[in-house]
């Protein structure tokens, strides 16, 4: 970000997310739709590139209507991400405190909200693509693949890190980090806040409410 000079009205907003990472979170999800199945699945870089190509292929198809595209992207998401693990990690320590019934309802709501998010972001996709710039092994299970997202309509490129987990040779995405902002960490922080204030039932109620609102908004 560029330096703060004198504080303009939203200078600090500017500091937390500069134009470079505009829509970075959104694009992260956009790219997340596209994950590869079995092929190349044990090489992190090939996995992420395959994911990109499959997502772009769906996005560029002209023979599918909006609903069909959303469906195809959802399938890719289910296939290439460990959604159950992500959902549990977002809950953090509260996962163990939830009853089996609450856990089941939470997972359903988590998926339903994700579907809405995919639909919304599909509508805003504007031609972004990315290349792999670095691959770092974190430990024996996790690898971070760093990508640089280019925006065709101008604007500086920005960095998105993909965190992949190796499940016995099969890679799955467990987090997307745009310019340092992790989707998982952000959602986890929200959940901790809501559960801390209203308990697990309160969280489920909040998720239901949000889902209703999004459905009525179209």
Partner 1 sequence: MISSLSAFAGRWQTTRLFSAARLVPLGVCLLAGCATARGDVHDPLEPVNRAVFAVNRVVDGLVLEPAAEVYGLVVPRPVRRMVRNLLDHLAAPVVFVNALLQGERERAGITLGRFMINSTLGLFGLFDFAAELGYLEQDEDFGQTLAVWGAGEGVYLVLPLLGPSTVRDFVGSAVDTVLLDPAGLALSGEAQLARLATEAVVTRYELDPLLDDLERSSLDFYAAVRSSYLQRRRAEIRNGAPAPFDDSVYRETPDESFEDPANR
CB of 106 to partner 1, least distance (A): 12
d(CA 124, CA 63): 19
Distance CA 132, CA 25 (A): 17
Q: How far is the CB of 105 from partner 1 (least distance, A)?
A: 15
Number of residues that bind partner 1 (CB under 8 A): 75
2 binds partner 1 (CB under 8 A): yes
- Which of 43, 74, 75, 120 is close enough to bind partner 1 by CB under 8 A? 120
Considering the rule CB under 8 A, would residue 118 count as an interface residue with partner 1? no
Residue holding tokens 């909040």? Answer: 206
Options 1, 39, 57, 68; binder of partner 1; rule CB under 8 A: 1
Q: How far is the CB of 70 from partner 1 (least distance, A)?
A: 16
Instruction: Enumerate residues 161-200 that contact partner 1 by CB under 8 A.
Output: 161, 163, 165, 174-175, 177, 179-182, 184-196
Q: How far is CA 185 from CA 77, 177, 190, 201, 216, in A?
A: 19, 9, 9, 21, 28
159 CB-side CA count, 13 A = 11
* Cβ atoms of 98 and 92 closer than 8 Å: no
Subset of residues 19 to 58 that bind partner 1, contact rule: CB under 8 A: 19, 21-26
**Judged by CB, which is closer to partner 1: 40, or 182?**
182
- The residue among 3 and 38 lying less far from partner 1, judged by its C-beta, is 3
Query: How far is residue 211's CA from residue 206's CA, in Å, rounded to a whole number?
Result: 9
Q: How far is CA 95 from CA 107, 112, 167, in A?
A: 11, 18, 21
Stretch that binds partner 1, among 37-45, 46-54, 60-68, 154-162 (CB under 8 A): 154-162
In angstroms, give the least distance from the CB of 39 to partner 1.
Answer: 25
| 202 is an interface residue for partner 1 by CB under 8 A | no
Is 132 within 8 Å of 146 (Cβ atoms)? yes
């Amino acid at each position: 970000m560029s330096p703060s000079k004198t504080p303009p009205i939203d200078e600090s907003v500017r500091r937390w997310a500069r134009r470079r990472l505009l829509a970075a979170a959104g694009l992260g999800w956009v790219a997340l739709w596209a994950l590869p199945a079995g092929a190349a699945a044990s090489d992190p870089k090939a996995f992420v590139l395959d994911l990109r190509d499959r997502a772009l292929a769906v996005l560029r198809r002209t023979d599918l209507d909006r609903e069909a595209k959303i469906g195809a992207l959802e399938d890719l998401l289910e296939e290439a991400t460990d959604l159950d693990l992500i959902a549990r990690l977002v809950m953090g320590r509260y996962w163990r405190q939830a009853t089996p019934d609450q856990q089941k309802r939470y997972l359903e709501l988590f998926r339903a909200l994700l579907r809405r998010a995919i639909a919304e972001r599909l509508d805003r996709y504007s031609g972004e693509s990315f290349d792999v710039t670095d691959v770092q092994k974190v430990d024996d299970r996790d690898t971070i693949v760093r990508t640089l997202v280019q925006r065709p309509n101008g604007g500086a490129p920005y960095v998105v890190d993909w965190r992949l987990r190796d499940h016995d040779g099969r890679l799955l995405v467990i987090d997307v980090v745009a310019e340092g902002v992790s989707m998982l960490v952000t959602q986890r922080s929200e959940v901790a806040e809501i559960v801390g204030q209203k308990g697990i039932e309160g969280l489920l109620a909040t998720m239901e409410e949000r889902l209703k609102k999004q459905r009525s908004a179209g």
